[in-house]
């Protein structure tokens, strides 16, 4: 049902994707204006993925398991278990840069002799993007930031090019937990920044 504040809670436009925004110092008192300043600095520091098309998607999907027992005909409160969450940020990138190739293919390396990009097969912890996020705005001016931790694009990289069009790269960034003792939480956070 439509409420007086319904429109203010609606998310507008495609937003933007950022790499390695430091969220450790953010708190309940961080305002939308303060976070906007952080995003502006990220643009200066080249931490944005650049132009995208088609917006993006944030998905948190639980891996669901039902505990079964004799005599149980339906799921009962307490019988459903969320074993883990699959956390994804997806978009289609339009800027074909060295940085974006590295984001898309975490094992990409620059060959010293030629400057060409080559793809190693060994994946090591340093290849994970520490954090990748999406920033968007609500109609009332508040900001929203979705952050995934320890991120890999797990779909590889396909550069699609067309006649009378621009090349695009579809990506599916997946969050990973840093340590086993953090398994009770999904590797993501959603921040709201009030005016």
Domain containing residue 37: CATH number = 2.30.110
Per-residue pLDDT of 145-179, as tens digits, reads 999 999 999 888 888 888 888 888 999 999 999 88
Cα–Cα distances (Å) from 78 to 17, 66, 70, 166, in that order, read: 38, 9, 15, 51
What is the DSSP-derived secondary structure letter of residue 10? S
- Each residue's pLDDT tens digit, 91-119: 999 988 888 888 889 899 888 999 899 99
Residue 13 lies in a domain: yes
Structure confidence at residue 49 (pLDDT): 87
Question: What is the number of structural domains in the chain?
Answer: 1
Give domain status of residue 91, yes or no.
yes
Contact yes or no for 135/187 (Cβ under 8 A): no
Is there a domain that residue 2 lies in?
no
- Rounded Cα gap, residues 139 and 12, in angstroms: 6
When the pLDDT of each residue in the chain is averaged and rounded to a whole number, the result is: 90
Task: Give the domain range for residue 135.
Answer: 7-193
- Average pLDDT over every residue of 31-47: 93
Per-residue model confidence as pLDDT tens digits over 121-145: 899 999 999 999 999 998 888 899 9
Q: Does residue 11 fall inside a structural domain?
A: yes
Q: Is the pLDDT of residue 86 over 90?
A: yes
Residue 1 within any structural domain of the chain: no
CA–CA separation, 37 vs 30, rounded Å? Answer: 11
State residue 88's pLDDT score. Answer: 96
Residue 39 lies in a domain: yes
């Amino acid at each position: 049902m439509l409420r007086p504040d319904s429109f203010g809670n609606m998310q507008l436009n495609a937003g933007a994707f950022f790499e390695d925004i430091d969220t450790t110092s953010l708190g309940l008192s961080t305002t939308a204006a303060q976070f906007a300043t952080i995003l502006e600095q990220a643009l200066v520091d080249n931490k944005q993925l650049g132009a995208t098309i088609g917006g993006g998607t944030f998905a948190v999907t639980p891996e669901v398991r039902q505990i079964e027992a004799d005599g149980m005909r339906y799921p009962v409160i307490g019988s459903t278990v969320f074993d883990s969450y699959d956390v994804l940020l997806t978009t289609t990138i339009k800027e074909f840069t060295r940085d974006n190739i590295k984001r898309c293919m975490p094992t990409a390396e620059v060959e010293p002799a030629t400057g060409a990009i080559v793809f190693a097969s060994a994946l090591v912890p340093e290849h994970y993007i520490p954090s990748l996020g999406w920033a968007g705005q609500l109609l009332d001016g508040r900001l929203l930031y979705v952050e995934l931790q320890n991120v890999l694009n797990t779909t590889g990289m396909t550069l699609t090019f067309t006649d009378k069009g621009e090349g695009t790269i579809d990506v599916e960034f997946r969050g990973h937990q840093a340590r086993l003792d953090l398994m009770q939480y999904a590797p993501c956070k959603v921040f709201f920044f009030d005016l």
